Structure 1
Amino acid sequence: MQFLFTWLITAISLLITAYVIPGIFIKSFFAATFAAIVMGVINAIVRPILILFTFPLTFLSLGLFLFVVNAIAFSLVSYLTPGFSIDTFWDALFGSIILSLVSGFFGQLLEPKE
């Protein structure tokens, strides 16, 4: 049940992010839900490998390079998802920040009570 909850929050957050950032386009809610699944796979498999390889840069930048890693992962999601596109790297960077904020906000606001 928690998986479905997180999946829907991520899909809705993607739609809100696409509405806020003009360079991000999502054709439908189905594309957003599919992108949420792809994002989960990318964040579970590819992102840790990117973090491992970019650890020296992340260490030297005091963690700020993680924003770039998140933007790369976000761009990879758009590349692998039909109906979801990002125009520029800056759109991916700001989009990943907005997505994190919106998803975290909705996750806290709508968190199921135990």
Structure 2
Amino acid sequence: MDNNDKNRDRTDNRTNDWDIGEILIRILVTAIVVGIAAFLTPGFSINSLWSLILAAVVIALLDYLIQKFTGVNATPFGRGITGFIVAAIILYATKFIVPGFNISVWGAIIGALVIGIIDVIIPGRAM
């Protein structure tokens, strides 16, 4: 085994660690942003802190999976109409997975818009 193989192995291990760290950061930022969006958006409510945390996990994982498999980044602004639509779909789909997470179709559309605005203000990735 030469030095190139050792460097490649080290790089592969760091990549796996970064993926988990990236997911945890996304969950934290998503919880903050979704909580603010639910407060500001009509037709969008979250019943408890546990529902918010579970919704943040589901939204972050759905976004992560969509990005890994399709390459589409679900940031409502900066990614155009595709990112906006994907963000609204992720929000609406979360309604069926997380108890206490209530959102209407219009709430998902407005929520994606609010999340896009908040994403510009708060550093990090919201979705």
Fold-level similarity (TM above 0.5):
yes
| Per-residue Cα deviation, 1:17-62 (whole angstroms, up to 9, x for no partner) | 111112001011221111110001111224666777xxxxxxxxxx
In the alignment of these two chains, the number of paired residues is 97
**Alignment partner of 1:97 is 2:117:** no
1:1-114 matches, within 5 Å, as: 3-46=23-66, 63-87=80-104, 89-107=105-123
> Which amino acid counterpart does residue 85 of structure 2 have in structure 1?
V
* Equivalent pair of 1:47/1:69 in contact (CA under 8 Å): no
Provide TM-score, normalisation by structure 2.
0.62
Gaps of 5+ in 1: 53-62, 109-114
Q: Between the two proteins, what is the percent identity of the paired residues?
A: 27
Gaps of 5+ in 2: 1-20, 73-79
Instruction: Supply the distance in 1 between the matched residues of 2:71 and 2:22 (Cα, whole angstroms).
Output: 26
Distance change >3 Å, CA 10–CA 23, structure 1 → 2:
same
Provide the alpha-carbon RMSD of the alignment.
2.7
Distance change >3 Å, CA 103–CA 30, structure 1 → 2:
farther
Name the structure, 1 or 2, with higher relative contact order (CA <8 Å, separation 6+): 1
> Which amino acid counterpart does residue 111 of structure 2 have in structure 1?
G
* Equivalent pair of 1:51/1:66 in contact (CA under 8 Å): no
Provide TM-score, normalisation by structure 1.
0.67
* Equivalent pair of 1:51/1:69 in contact (CA under 8 Å): no
